[in-house]
Every structure is written in C-alpha cells, then in structure tokens.
C-alpha cells in the first residue's frame, strides 16, 4: 500500500462512532437505547430561526462566496454580545466566523504552532483538540487536572509546564468533558503566566451560554486591551442556537493574529456557510430570551442528573456542568473502557469512557445529559447499577 500521512495515522480514531458501534449488539432488554455520547442540544432550534434559515438558503446570493472572515452583520452581532457578556470593549474587527468550532481550533493551532512544536493541553481534554494537534504534528503536553481541585488547572503546574517551551496553552471553560468551570481569577492567572512565558492562551468558551446567570463575567481578560497580543477566544453557535449541522463558529483575536489567520481561513474554508450566518445575525439579539430559557432548561437537567447520581451507591459524581456529568466508577467496577462497552451492549446506555479524554482517566465515564429530557435522566441510575 502506498504510504499515508504519518500525522493522520498517528491520530486516534473518532471516539463517538466507536462507542455507538458497541450498541449494535444491544437487544433492547433494558428499554430503548439511551445515547449520552455526543454533546447536542436535546431540543429543536427556535421556529423563527428555522424559518430564517430556510429563507436565507433560498436566496441566490447565499449560494455565492462570502467574506473570508464572515458576514459583517454576524460579526457585529457577536461582538456586541461578547461585549455585553464580558463588560468589555470588543468590536467586529476582533471577530472572524468559521465553519464550526472544531475548525476554529484547528486553524488557530495552524497559526500558533507547527510540526514539532508543543501546546499545553489540560487533561481530561476534549478529544478533537488532541486529534487536531496530532494531525498537524504538534505535541500535546498533558496538564493533569484533579477531581480534588474540581478539575480546575493548578496555575503552579501551568507555570512549570510552560517552561517546556509550549507555544500555547488551551483552556476549555465550561469544560468538555467534565463540565467544570474555571474561576475568573484562575483564567486571569493562566493568561499572565502565558504572557510571561511568551505563549498564547487559547480559551475555548463554546459552552459559555450555559454558565449560571447573575454572576460576574466569565473572566476579566477582554477589559485589558493587551489581550489582543496574547489571547484567542473560540466560540460555537452550535449549542446555544441548536444548529450543529450548519457548522458556524467564531474566533476572537487581535489584529496581528487575524492577519495570519486570514491565510488559514481562505485556504481551509474560503467562507463559512452563508445562509446560517445570515439567520444567526438576526438570532443573536432576537433570541436572547429564548437562549436564557434554554440555559435554565440545561440547569434543570443538570440538577436532575445530580439527584439521579445520589441514588448510585459506590459511584461518585466528580464534576457536573454545562452539558456534562463526569462520573467516577465504583472500586469494584471494571475499567472505563470495559464498563462503557458493557453498558452499551447489555443496558443500551451509551456514554464515553474516560480514556478517550486523555491519560489518567481510566476510572471515569462522561455522560452528556443535555441530549435527553429529565424523564430519561431518571432511568440512568438503574442502567448504571447493572455494573
């Protein structure tokens, strides 16, 4: 066989299809399959958004190429939304629209690092982040985060690992897979440590719309104009607006980074899907109240999962938030890989084992409770207890 890319061959296989394949042997004995593998909203888009998506898709103009860095109306709307959420001066000139959040991360890494470089990636990590680094020949330096610390990175460990020459550090808050949220002071400290080490901080805030309301801004970074020289924020419209299939994400960055980013944007996507951008430009402000209702809905599902977990002797809910529950297996249970396969085959409960999220996760399972209604969450303990 003609050789293939060594970087692609060194990249792990997609975890979710692997987990779903286990369920092919499930015979239905425990009831309908319950799929908690993928982080997708368990409710439909707003009907007015669907109508605008359909209308925009039918326009002749939407079939043509758009601006490389996104439709101006969406960039302006997102900038205003960020400025409000963070109480900071952010403008459309800071925003670039991408064909989804995963591509936003991959292009960001292409700008910041290259083959042989290293990026600091806290564990447990989002597996697609690790895969994107592997594809580009970029080494991931694991930063272990402990359940005892709420899976929040320890800044002292960050400082030590940055000295290994990392080009950037990645933070996901709220986190995938744990749901943990980094306190503003920790985010600010990590930004300062990166700046001192000559590294970038890449802050993935895909799930920021599901943070508790009434609290301070998620972090103070955007209040300091110097953020544009060392911080990149990633965002996705998939979760808050229930449109993952339309592939629209965003990158917030300063002019120096954006000048180089334009090369990646033009090469890898040319432009993000135009109809979705047009509809979302309206939705950002118009659906603010609907987004708040969905935030409350997700909070209720999280509370339901916490109550369900309390009925599981021997199990430990180590983290919960946004879309995710991160469960520690009982001592007598098999390892996470074997446990997840057994749950899928014997109980029709599909979840992701911890090793998909990096080293040191052999005793954890991730369950994406956002996918299902509270009644289905109530069925989780009985299926887990089968182990």
Cα 232 off chain centre by: 15
- Specify the CATH number of the domain 47-286: 3.40.640.10
pLDDT of res. 42: 87
Fold: same for 6-44+290-384 and 47-286: no
pLDDT of res. 213: 79
Query: Are the C-beta atoms of residues 350 and 17 closer than 8 Å to each other?
Result: no
pLDDT of res. 37: 97
End-to-end Cα spacing for the chain = 43
**Radius of gyration of the CA atoms of the chain, in A:** 21
Condensed to tens digits (0 to 9), the pLDDT of residues 140-149 reads 999 999 999 9
Residues pairing with 172 in the sheet:
204
Phi, psi for residue 214 in degrees, rounded to 5: 80, 0
With a cut of 50, list the residues of the chain below it in pLDDT: none
pTM more than 0.95:
yes
Q: Give the CATH architecture of domain 6-44+290-384.
A: Alpha-Beta Complex (3.90)
Which of 168, 172, 118, 125 is closest to 144 using CA atoms? Answer: 125
Query: Are the C-beta atoms of residues 77 and 95 closer than 8 Å to each other?
Result: no
pLDDT of res. 387: 84
SS3 364: strand
Condensed to tens digits (0 to 9), the pLDDT of residues 12-71 reads 999 999 999 999 999 999 999 999 999 999 899 999 999 999 999 999 999 999 999 999
Instruction: Give the DSSP letter string of 209-260.
Output: GGSPTTSPPS-SGGGSGGGGGTEEEEEESHHHHT-GGG--EEEE--HHHHHH
Alpha-helical regions (H) of the chain: 6-9, 15-22, 47-57, 72-86, 101-112, 127-135, 155-162, 184-197, 238-241, 255-268, 274-286, 288-309, 336-347, 374-377, 380-384
Helix crossing, 184-197 with 155-162: angle to 10°?
20
Condensed to tens digits (0 to 9), the pLDDT of residues 289-326 reads 999 999 999 999 999 999 999 999 999 999 999 999 99
CA gap 188, 4 in Å, rounded: 42
pLDDT of res. 122: 96
CA gap 280, 289 in Å, rounded: 15
CA gap 283, 54 in Å, rounded: 14
pLDDT of res. 244: 96
Q: What is the dihedral of CA 19, 21, 24, 30, to 10 degrees?
A: 0
Q: Where are the domains of the chain?
A: 6-44+290-384, 47-286
pLDDT of res. 216: 83
CA gap 304, 368 in Å, rounded: 13
- Classify residue 330 by its DSSP letter: P
CA gap 356, 366 in Å, rounded: 10
Q: Are strands 249-252 and 139-144 parallel, antiparallel or unpaired?
A: unpaired
CA gap 116, 166 in Å, rounded: 11
């Amino acid at each position: 066989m003609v050789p293939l890319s060594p970087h692609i061959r060194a990249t792990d296989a997609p975890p979710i299809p692997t987990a779903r394949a286990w369920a092919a042997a499930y015979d239905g004995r425990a009831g309908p399959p319950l799929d908690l593998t993928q982080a997708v909203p368990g409710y439909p888009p707003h009907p007015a958004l669907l109508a605008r998506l359909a209308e925009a898709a039918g326009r002749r103009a939407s079939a043509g190429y758009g601006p490389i860095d996104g439709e101006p109306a969406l960039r302006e709307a997102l900038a205003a939304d960020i400025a409000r959420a963070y109480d900071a001066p952010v403008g459309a000139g800071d925003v670039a629209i991408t064909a989804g959040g995963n591509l936003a991360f991959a292009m960001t890494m292409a700008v910041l690092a290259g083959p042989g470089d290293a990026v600091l990636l806290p564990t447990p990590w989002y597996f697609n982040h690790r895969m994107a680094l592997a594809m580009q020949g970029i080494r991931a330096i694991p930063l272990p985060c402990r359940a005892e610390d709420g899976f929040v990175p320890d800044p002292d460990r960050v400082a030590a690992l940055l000295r290994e020459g990392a080009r950037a550090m990645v933070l996901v808050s709220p986190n995938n897979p744990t749901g943990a949220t980094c306190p503003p002071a920790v985010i600010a400290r990590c930004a300062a440590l990166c700046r001192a080490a000559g590294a970038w901080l890449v802050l993935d805030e895909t799930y920021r719309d599901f943070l508790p309301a009434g609290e301070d801004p998620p972090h103070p970074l955007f209040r300091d104009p110097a953020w544009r020289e060392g911080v990149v924020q990633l965002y996705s419209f998939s979760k808050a607006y229930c449109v993952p299939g339309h592939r629209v994400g965003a990158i917030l960055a300063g002019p120096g980074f954006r000048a180089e980013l334009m090369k990646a944007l033009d090469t890898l996507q040319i432009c993000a899907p135009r109809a979705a951008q047009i509809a979302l430009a309206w939705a950002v402000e118009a659906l603010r109240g609907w987004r708040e209702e969905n935030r409350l809905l997700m909070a209720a599902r999280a509370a339901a999962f916490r109550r369900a977990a309390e009925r599981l002797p021997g199990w430990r809910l180590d983290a919960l938030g946004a879309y995710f529950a991160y469960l520690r297996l009982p001592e007598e249970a098999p390892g996470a890989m074997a446990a997840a396969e057994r749950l899928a085959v014997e109980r029709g409960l599909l979840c992701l084992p911890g090793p998909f999220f990096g080293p040191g996760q052999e005793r954890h399972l991730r369950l994406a409770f956002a996918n299902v209604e509270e009644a289905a969450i109530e069925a989780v303990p009985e299926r887990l207890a089968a182990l």
